[in-house]
Amino acid sequence: MHASISSHCAGAERVPKAVQAEIQQVIAGIDVAASRGSAPRIRDQFITGLKGQGWSAEIPVSRDSDMTITSMKDGIGLCLQTGNMARMYADLIKLQTLYLDNAISAAVIVLPSQPLALQIGDNIAQAARLERELEIFRKAYHVPTLLIALE
């Protein structure tokens, strides 16, 4: 699988190049054919690859909550969203909370590109929409964030 990258609030500068390279390597190792219902297999291969690079399992946002982000490493919070578009906004709030609590210094959000989202299901989170909306929310969501679109 391939990916394209965009940056929000200097995310490309704040997420270390070595971390970016690890994530790109994990994405390159995903060998799932895009089709309806393939999102869980894409997710599983991505998470397995991350763990192989030393990334954590899910990280709770708060001690007293079941809310989690996908992974964290070296102060970088990561959310993988291959599900419903509505879940994308929850990820933003979780990352903003961790950032304001000084638990992370930057974030990475990995989600399908628009063409991939259309192939794998209905109303799937997609990078182009998130990019547009982050510009609207720039005063509310100011975590340095690297957006990675799966292609």
pLDDT tens-digit map of 8-41: 999 999 999 999 999 999 999 999 999 999 999 9
Q: Which two tokens stand for residue 45?
A: 């291969």
State residue 26's pLDDT score.
Answer: 98
pTM for the model: 0.96
Determine what percent of the chain is predicted with pLDDT higher than 90: 97
The mean pLDDT of the chain is 96
| Parent domain of 42 | 3-150
Spatial separation of the C-alpha atoms in residues 6 and 38, rounded to whole Å: 24
CATH number reported for the structural domain that contains residue 23 in this entry: 3.40.91.20
Region 37-49: mean pLDDT is: 97
pLDDT band at 129 (very low <50, low <70, confident <90, very high): very high
Spatial separation of the C-alpha atoms in residues 134 and 142, rounded to whole Å: 9
Under 8 Å between Cβ of 69 and 91: yes
User: Per the structure, how many domains does the chain have?
Assistant: 1
Region 79-108: mean pLDDT is: 97
State residue 94's pLDDT score.
Answer: 98
Spatial separation of the C-alpha atoms in residues 151 and 143, rounded to whole Å: 24
